[in-house]
Structure 1
Amino acid sequence: MLDTLRSIVQEVSAATDLSDALKVVVTRIRNAMHTEVSSVYLYDAEAKRYSLMATKGLNQDAVGNVSLASSQGLVGLVGSREELINTEDAPAHPRYHYLSETGEEKYYSFLGVPIIHHRRLMGVLVVQQQERRKFDESEEAFLVTMSAQLAGVIAHAEATGNITAAAKETTASKEARFSGVPGAPGVGIGKAVVIYPAADLSSVPDKLADDIEQEIERFETALIAVRRDIRSVGQKLSSDLRPEEMALFDVYLNMLDDRALGAEVIV
């Protein structure tokens, strides 16, 4: 799952806009989890409604045209509780709300997780399946991790007006303001630089190393330093972030493990 997660994150980061990013997410999640449906519902705090903004498995005509009140359905329940819901028989749940436009009546298994950014609800990420079964803990962890990654993408799109553009097919711009979480004490003032296009590792040329042992030593030293930095930042932010967001630091550390990234580089 780590390789899959890393691949999805890279693809989402390279997406040109929110609509493309959401399409990547629902497609790759469905393939990775071997489910029949993967969908993203975005929450409009002013209207207090969830809109279906991307899906792989439900009717495509419903995208952008179907919405739920904040108190409706299992999606609304996930959002109001701000915690995941995993059930093997969604239609039997007392909060189930049938949306005929989506064609979801044949799907029983339901796993939904909230998409939260800085303690603010952004939407709900859902997977569904016809077979009646409960999704296991590894599947829950994978979807929670993906929701945390997606939260940052949605928050950026919201700040830059991309969500409005995706929903209303307009390119109207708006003032953007970003509120961050400090990772170190002090104040920094300077120019912000947007790197475009996104970094593409495939464009980095392959070069033969003059001293392989030295290069391996430098790589291993870099891994140790990055792990140390990630642990340090995680400890500093532990009181400001939700457990789901803190879980990302463990995911990054696992990616940097000698058996993961290390094994791919040093053969």
Structure 2
Amino acid sequence: MLGILRSIVQEVNSARDLNEALDIIVSRVQKAMGTEVCSVYLLDPASNRYILMATEGLYKDAVGHVSLAHSEGLVGLVGSREEPINLEDAPSHPRYRYFPETGEERFSSFLGVPIIHHRAVLGVLVVQQRENSRCFDEGEEAFLVTISAQLAGVIAHSEATGAISGLSLTGEEAHDVCFNGVPG
């Protein structure tokens, strides 16, 4: 797993922009973990909603169009608890939220981990599997947590450089970024 992790990190670091980095992560993680779905939901601070930004396994048309309120669904639960959630039968969970446009009704097993940078939740990384008897093990959970930490750095850098502009559902333009420093 460490070799796969190193390879993914190198590919993500050489990505041209955030969208390419997200696409690399979802495709490589899906393949590495042997899951049918890997998706990234990013939190839009302007609307306080999680937006599906990249997926491998769900319908591609849903990317950029599906969004959940900050505390809605399993993605919102992962974000609000700020810890991984691992379920064998996600549709039976009371917080499960179904979106027909994603095609996720076929998948039962769910593992979601928060993407956190400097104690702020930036999004949620999710893998899903059709088998409802699959419970992701500790090694798989640790792998996903490590990938989410790498992704957090990429997202934070994109926000700082303005490369993440245009994420807001309100359609507002990105504002100038100001960094306050301390002379040394």
Q: TM-score, normalised by structure 2?
A: 0.92
Contact 1:111-1:127 within 8 A present in 2 as well: yes
| Alignment-derived partner of residue 130 in structure 1 | 130
CA distance in 2, matches of 1:117, 1:179: 18
Amino acid at match of 1:4: I
1:78-114 Cα deviation digits (max 9, x unpaired): 0000010000000000000001110000000000000
CA distance in 2, matches of 1:65, 1:102: 10
| Alignment-derived partner of residue 65 in structure 2 | 65
| Alignment-derived partner of residue 97 in structure 2 | 97
Amino acid at match of 1:138: G
| Alignment-derived partner of residue 155 in structure 1 | 156
**How much does 1:160 deviate?**
1.9
| Alignment-derived partner of residue 145 in structure 1 | 146
> Quick check: which one's strand share is greater?
2
CA distance in 2, matches of 1:84, 1:10: 24
Contact 2:114-2:148 within 8 A present in 1 as well: yes
In structure 2, list runs of 5 or more residues that go unmatched.
Answer: none
CA distance in 1, matches of 2:70, 2:20: 25
Range with greater deviation from structure 2 (42-51 or 123-132) = 42-51
**How much does 1:161 deviate?**
1.9
Task: Report the secondary structure of 1:164's partner residue.
Answer: coil
| Alignment-derived partner of residue 19 in structure 1 | 19
In structure 1, list runs of 5 or more residues that go unmatched.
Answer: 181-185, 188-267
Task: From the CA coordinates, give the structure whose radius of gyration is larger.
Answer: 1
Contact 1:160-1:174 within 8 A present in 2 as well: no
CA distance in 1, matches of 2:28, 2:9: 10
> Quick check: which one's helix share is greater?
1
**How much does 1:24 deviate?**
0.2
Count of residue pairs brought into register by the alignment: 180
CA distance in 2, matches of 1:154, 1:95: 27
Q: Measured at CA, do residues 7 and 99 of structure 1 come closer, stay the same or move farther in structure 2, by a change above 3 Å?
A: same
CA distance in 2, matches of 1:131, 1:65: 27
**How much does 1:175 deviate?**
3.3
Q: Measured at CA, do residues 62 and 86 of structure 1 come closer, stay the same or move farther in structure 2, by a change above 3 Å?
A: same
Identity of aligned residues (%): 66
* 1:73-222 paired onto structure 2 within 5 Å: 73-132=73-132, 133-165=134-166, 175-177=176-178, 187=184
CA distance in 1, matches of 2:23, 2:148: 14
CA distance in 2, matches of 1:162, 1:36: 29
Contact 2:54-2:63 within 8 A present in 1 as well: yes
Amino acid at match of 2:100: S
Q: TM-score, normalised by structure 1?
A: 0.64
Contact 2:44-2:168 within 8 A present in 1 as well: no
CA distance in 1, matches of 2:68, 2:166: 20
